[in-house]
Structure formats: structure tokens, C-alpha cells
Chain A
Amino acid sequence: MSEWTPNLIVFACNWCTYQGADLAGSLRYDYPANIKIIRVPCSGRVEPEFVVEAFKRGADGVFIGGCHPGDCHYKEGNYKAIRRFDLLKRILIDMGIEKERFQLEWISGSEGKRFAEAMTTFEKNIRELGPCRVKEGV
């Protein structure tokens, strides 16, 4: 199992979390190299299909980053996101996927440090869980 590195997908909102990731880079904070960031216009743009597709294609964890409540560039995209996230999480748990594999956090453009920390914690949690079995198929 020492060979295995978690395959992690991060959906980052263009206006906050992606800027946060940028800032983390500018400030030279360390975070795991095995995360793959996908820039989306808004956390509300992340359809449940995207998340399941990621798991199906071999992701071991999926992280959604959005603006703090009240700060959404599209006013209420992140409120829709949290409702979808909560409901999807219940479904994923029922389908046998551990809840730690699917995270949603609010990280603003000024929180570079927070981004780096969130990624480190996320990576550590998934590493403890081991590989996700979804990709093995029916």
C-alpha cells in the first residue's frame, strides 16, 4: 500500500477558492501535490453528476470549495451548493461511500493559508481511508 497516492479532485470556485489556491502558491505555502484543481464558475455549478463521474473515473476523494455564505459572486450559488452537497452526501453514504471522501468548505480569496491547510487535512483523511472502491464497477 506504500505505492498508493490518493487521487484527489478539487472543484474550486473561480471567485474565492481558486483565488485562495493562487494565493497559497504566491505565499509559498505547502500543500499536497496530488490534488487536481478544476476551476468552476461557482460552487453552485458543481452538479452531483460531476462528483459521481469523478469517483467513477478513479477519484479517491472530491472536494468542493466555494465562497463564504453571503459572498457568492452570483448571490446565492453557494446556498444551492450546500443543499445539493448535503443531499448528495446522504446518498453517497447510503451507497457505501465514506463521508470523508466528499467535502465542502468555504475558502475565500484571501485565505491562502486556509486552502493549504484544508488540502493537507483532506489528503491525510483520504490516505487513512485507503483507495475508493467505486471505480471497480458493478
Chain B
Amino acid sequence: MADKKLRLAVLMAGACGGCDMAIVDISETLVDVLPSLEVVFWAPTVADVKYKDLEAMPDKSVDVGLISGMIRLDEHEHMSKVMRAKCNVVVAYGACAAMGGIPGMANMHTKEDIFQTAYFDTFSTDNPDGITPQPHYLMDGKYDLTLPEFYPYVRPIQSVIDVDYFIGGCPPHHSVVLNALVAILKGELPPKGSWITNGKAVCDVCPRNPRNTDEKRELVKEVRRTIEGDPDENKCLLQQGYMCLGPITQGDCGALCTKVNIPCAGCGGPIPGVKDFGLRAISAIASILDNEELVEQIPSPVKLFYRYSLPSSMLGKKVKKA
């Protein structure tokens, strides 16, 4: 590998920390890779660096920047822009960064609705003065206090900066992270703007796929929820009526969920060529149903099909009433 150490920066935007854990999870192999890596920034989770340290670095001085999480606060947007300025290669790392992720389902509600629930309506809330977070507050007439501004909607990283590569997964499997890091170290990168993946669907790598067991595919006769009964461990989940999104999800995970009897929820991102994950899921799922009545039995279709990708979908958010 390269003589020069690869300078790496990791930023957690609106994320839960799972993506950072996935990097740490490379564990022993990370120790092998570490001699060729120099972690210059990993905030706010792992390294003891502050945002201002990254801001002080010269432009384009970092080789690779990983951004996990979506854009919800102005802080996320600002730091993503700083990352873009400082890093040569920026990777939207994980389902939230690439597609908006689970927090993206908040786009079904307005900021006002969310504040109403979080600061007024919940059972355990005690807020007699009706106080909600404000970006600015002047305390005692002299202390100017600030909080990041809460944006009306969740956005994926590529809506605020130019992203070079995408990695899916919630969180990405540590082997995927390692492969990506090795590809970057060796300089074996795909064309700009693509996903660092093997390009196969979950079904391709799923041992339950009827193609692999020489079973005949039939139309789906019933729709079942994951809480209804135990799926047969050897049969295709879709054939049994569980809404598995394997046909259109990238299978870099190695079909981890379906191997433990859980239908694929689509965290790996769309397979190459798919413009809108949820809409293609409608095509795929609707076409295999036996009759029209089954459509009505699919629970909460938006949140099922857009669980990880609502902000990056063509509609992006719920349309407000006039």
C-alpha cells in the first residue's frame, strides 16, 4: 500500500452512532489497516477533536472523509460543507447519509407537528410555559446563547454537498467498510457518484431464493406481518407473504436479515439503475400479488417501502394541504 499515510476524517451528522460503531467493529483488521491510516478528525464520537480543528485545516488536506447521518440541523449542513472543503473524496456513509434513513420518515410530518408532540403532547412532558428550542436566546440581557436551527425537513447529504461515493446499510456491515477503505487505499475506486458495492440484489445472495432451491415461483396468496407467526426458515419470505424488499435492495450485507428470518427492509439502498427505491418496490411487490384485495392488507405502505429512503425519493416529503 501507499508509503504516505492516508488521512481520514469521520463526521457524524444527524446519526445515531451505529455507523461509527461499524468502523470500530472492523476491530483486529482495523489494527492492521491503522498503520496506513491517519485519523485526523472523528467527531463528535471517537477522537478528541473539535469542529474548529477541522475548520482550521487547509482545504483539500484530508484524503477521505466519511459522513454518516442526515441533514436535520444547520450544524449538520455547515459541517458537511466544511468536510467537502477539506476532503478530496467525500463518502456518504450509511443509509441516513445516502438516502435519509430512518429519521427521514419524519418527512411525513411538519416541524410544527414534531415540536407539538415532542414538547407538548407526550404524557411525560411538563411544559407549562410552552417553551420550544430557539436558535438564539439572550440570557440576562448579555449572554447570547445559540442552538443549531432545526430545519423543516430531513435531507440526505447529497442535497447540500457534492458527494463522491455512497455506502448503504444501517449500519454498513464492517466488511463493507473495510472493503471500501481498502479500495480507497489502493486507489481502486469506481466512477464518481456511484455506490461502493458489488451491485447485486439481496435475493442474489439469499439462500432462500427459490432459484437456488429449484422451487417454482408462485403468486403471493396472503400478506403477513412479521409479528404474525414464524416464517418457514427455508422458504422465500416473499413467497410466504412477508413483505421482503430483497429484490431491489443491494446485497452487500450478504442477506444478513433474511438468514435470521427477518424480511429485508431495504437499508442497503437501491440496486443500480433504480431511481426511486419505494416506487420500484411498489412495482416489484404489487406485480407478485395474487389479487387486488391483498394490496389493502399491506400495512402503512409509505413507511414500509420508504423506511430508509423517503428524503431521497422523488416526492421527498408529504405534500402540505393548501
Contact = CB atoms under 8 A, between A and B. Distances in A.
A52 B315 contact: yes
A130 B276 contact: no
A138 B155 contact: yes
B127 interface: no
Nearest to B302: A94
Contacts of A134: 315, 319
A80 B315 contact: no
B193 interface: no
Nearest to B310: A95
Interface in A92-124: 94-97
Contact of A48 (B108, B282, B322): B282
What's the interface size class on A, roughly? 20 to 34
A138 B279 contact: no
Chain B binding surface SS class? mixed
A62 B286 CA distance: 19
Interface in B254-307: 275-276, 278-280, 282-283, 285-287, 289, 292, 295-296, 298, 300-302, 305
B314 interface: yes
Contact of B275 (A49, A90, A95, A130): A49
B316 interface: yes
A47 interface: yes
Contacts of A48: 276, 279-280, 282-283
B317 interface: yes
Contacts of A82: 292
A49 B316 contact: no
Interface string A57-77: 000000000000000000000
A91 B322 contact: no
A96 B302 CA distance: 11
Interface in B154-178: 155
Contact of B289 (A83, A88, A91): A83
Nearest to A46: B283
B314 A52 contact: yes
Contacts of B142: none
Interface in A7-36: none
A134 to B, nearest CB: 6
B153 A91 contact: no
B153, B276, B282, B298: residue with the most chain A Cβ atoms closer than 10 Å: B282
Contacts of A56: 314-315
A138 B278 CA distance: 18
A137 B155 CA distance: 13
B318 A47 contact: no
A138 B286 contact: no
B52 interface: no
A87 B315 contact: no
A137 B319 CA distance: 9
A56 B292 CA distance: 27
A86 B302 contact: no
B314 A84 contact: no
B301 to A, nearest CB: 5
B279 A133 contact: no
B301 A91 contact: yes
A130 B321 CA distance: 11
A96 B292 CA distance: 22
Nearest to A44: B287
A83 B287 contact: yes
B186 interface: no
17 contacts: A48-B283, A49-B280, A52-B279, A83-B289, A84-B286, A86-B286, A87-B301, A90-B295, A91-B278, A94-B301, A95-B315, A95-B318, A95-B319, A96-B320, A96-B321, A130-B322, A137-B316
Chain A to chain B: the 6 pairs with minimum beta-carbon distance, closest first = A96-B319, A48-B279, A83-B286, A86-B295, A84-B286, A94-B302
Given A52-B315, A96-B321, 12 more contacts: A49-B276, A52-B314, A55-B315, A91-B301, A91-B305, A94-B108, A94-B302, A95-B108, A97-B319, A134-B315, A134-B319, A138-B155
